[in-house]
Chains A and B, each alone.
Chain A
Amino acid sequence: MMLCQICKANPATIHIQEIVNGETNTLHICAECAQKRNLAEGNAANSHFHEMLERLTQAIANSADLKLAELFEQKKPQEEESRDIQCGVCGASWHAYRKNGKVGCAACYDQFGQLLLEDIGLNQHGSVHCGKTPPETVEQWQDPTVSERINLRRELERLRKGLDESVRREEFEQAAELRDKIAAIESELKSAELIPDESTPETPPKKPRVRGGRRKSS
């Protein structure tokens, strides 16, 4: 069995191949080392990963006997640079944010908290929001059916994710259970109001073709 080229202890389970100047370079590492270096698979970390890999493979081409472990340490001098955090909810990473200025979901704001505040706070007027805030109490919501639908939608999202997961794990009994739950929620959502998703081009623009404010049939 091939050993990891970094720690030289665990079996290498990740194999990376890249062609530089017509020369093929292959890197075999274990999952642990990969994760340690933020090399774990996943789209969010990909760009960072490629950048690192490029430097790595170039260096290999230049001096074949340079030790990889040394190289990693040498090329990552700043602690801040190498530190990466991933959002537990959507999987977006801090490095991805630094690259494209975007986060994936509301939870990212909590996950990246202080770092994010320091980053955006630099160019902002203050560091705490002031101005408009959402209506505080649920009583202010005029329409309970909408919030109910939102909850159903959220539940649906959760179940669908669970279904994918159990199919992958080949836990078919659980999958069947989830599938039935999903079908039940879907039919509940369908029985409620449905919005026409298109205004037909030919209609004169006098009357909006919308149905609104209709509640679930009681």
Chain B
Amino acid sequence: MIFHPRIRHIAGKGPVFIGQGPILSTFLSLSRNIEGFQFPATASANTLESVAELGLAAMHHEDVRSLLPSMFQIKHELLTSSDRELLVERELMDRSHTDIAACRVFVCAEDGSASVLLNGDDHLWLHMTAPGPAFRELWDRMSALESALARHLRFAFHPRFGYLTGAPSLAGTGLRIKFLIHLPALGLSGRRKRILERLEDAGLAAEPYFPVDGKAAGNLFLISNRTTLGEREEDLGNRMTEIVMAISREEERTRAELISRQKMLFLNACGRAYGLLRNSYLIPTSEALDALSIMKLGADSGVFQRFTRRDWAELLLECQPAHLSCRMNMNLSPVERGKCRAARFRERLHGPEAAAETGAGPES
């Protein structure tokens, strides 16, 4: 068994990146430490055990549980590497938390919209995701969860440094806000690099979501805050939302210009991307992501009438390694993955008979 049943269940849930237009999703994470205990990186086994027990005890109170619907908990060491990879792909776990460490516990809402990691970089790492630009809703929910936990746990707090974290660069609010944004047109126009570099002035950073050789496969970027001290959570979130919305408007404006000026080229690109995904028998991740990026551009612009953003978001998740392994219920080599990925695309864009042609279709 390479996947924990709970994680397999989550893999079957709806897609995360379903937002309309360029802004696909918003992710929020909040770091907290319990007062009086050493931070996890250097803490003793006894301390880690105490923290895990206190954290779980707090989470099992009714007021906290109601904010994490039907939550379940799994010891981190019982998750296979595929499980952890799948959680990263679904944005429920940070990649820096995938290594096994003592007394690390993963807690997750059953619908996959929120998770808590005990004994990660900090004692508690609360994480939530929502489609589209959704800072407001997410922060209300996150703040409620934090307040509920704070009724049962006393968090390490300093009047000057705010909430204390293992990495002082996160001290203050302990909050990371991330927006997943899709910027193909700005990339084509050659202005994307300049725009993203200017984010630094606002204390923000942009990084490729799928970095391949230093480039952003699929034209997907994560925009996140670098500052946590000296600004209220709402102010930061609203400021970031404004900036990200402005970039999104710029992207949409560029798209409209691109389509009106070079309609033929645009349609050609969409048609070829569709053809590639529909007719491949072996397709590597980065190629698939780039083609999907153009498909999304086409879908947003009304070129593909029957290809919805939900279809797109599902394909984006399904073409990633752990989701493919989960679907086939076996560990796959890169070549096998390329085959399965292609088969999945053929099935989704063509109909089931196309996938069966090579026998590499999904298990029935």
A interface vs B, CB < 8 Å?
A: 89-90, 92, 97, 101-106, 109-110, 116-117, 119-121, 123-135, 140-143, 146-147, 149-150, 153-154, 156-157, 160, 193, 195, 197-199, 201-202, 205-213
Contacts and interface: CB of A to CB of B under 8 A. Distances in A.
Contacts of A128: 160, 229-230
A82 B291 CA distance: 54
Given A129-B159, A208-B70, 5 more contacts: A104-B41, A119-B168, A131-B233, A132-B232, A150-B36
B253 to A, nearest CB: 30
Contacts of A197: 52, 56, 73, 75, 105
Contacts of B54: 146, 149-150, 153
B61 A123 contact: no
Nearest to A91: B42
A121 B6 contact: no
Contacts of B78: 198
A143 B209 CA distance: 42
B215 interface: no
14 contacts: A90-B38, A102-B168, A124-B228, A125-B203, A128-B229, A129-B230, A140-B151, A141-B154, A143-B151, A150-B34, A150-B36, A197-B105, A199-B74, A208-B110
A201 B5 contact: yes
A141 B231 CA distance: 27
Interface in B58-105: 58-63, 65, 70-75, 78, 105
Interface of B: 4-6, 9, 33-39, 41-42, 46-47, 50, 52-54, 56-63, 65, 70-75, 78, 105, 110, 143, 146-147, 150-164, 166-169, 171-173, 203, 226-234, 236
A13 B60 CA distance: 54
A102 B74 CA distance: 27
Contacts of B37: 105, 154, 157
B169 A202 contact: no
B46 A124 contact: no
Given A131-B232, A135-B150, A208-B72, A106 B166 contact: no
Given A129-B162, A146-B58, A146-B153, A208 B35 contact: no
B171 A132 contact: no
A207 B264 CA distance: 55
A83 to B, nearest CB: 18
Contact of B72 (A150, A193, A205): A205
Contacts of A156: 46, 50
A146 B65 contact: no
Contact of B229 (A124, A135, A211): A124
A110 to B, nearest CB: 8
Contact of B143 (A110, A132, A135): A132
Contact of B50 (A101, A153, A211): A153
Contacts of A149: 54, 57
Across the A-B interface, the 10 shortest Cβ-Cβ residue pairs? A126-B230, A212-B60, A129-B162, A125-B230, A124-B229, A106-B156, A131-B232, A125-B231, A125-B227, A105-B38
A198 B231 CA distance: 39
B53 A195 contact: yes
Q: Which of A127, A131, A134, A157 has the most CB atoms of chain B within a 10 A radius of its CB?
A: A131
Contact of B168 (A103, A157, A208): A103
Contacts of B226: 123
A160 B43 CA distance: 14
Contacts of B146: 132
B33 to A, nearest CB: 7
Nearest to A140: B151
A110 B344 CA distance: 56
Contacts of A195: 53, 56-57, 60
A157 B47 contact: yes
Contact of B75 (A106, A147, A198, A211): A198
B56 A201 contact: no
B203 A142 contact: no
Nearest to B52: A197
Nearest to A97: B168
Contact of A129 (B60, B150, B229, B234): B229
A106 B40 CA distance: 12
Contacts of B50: 153, 156-157
A55 to B, nearest CB: 27
B33 A141 contact: no
Contacts of A103: 39, 166-168
B295 to A, nearest CB: 33
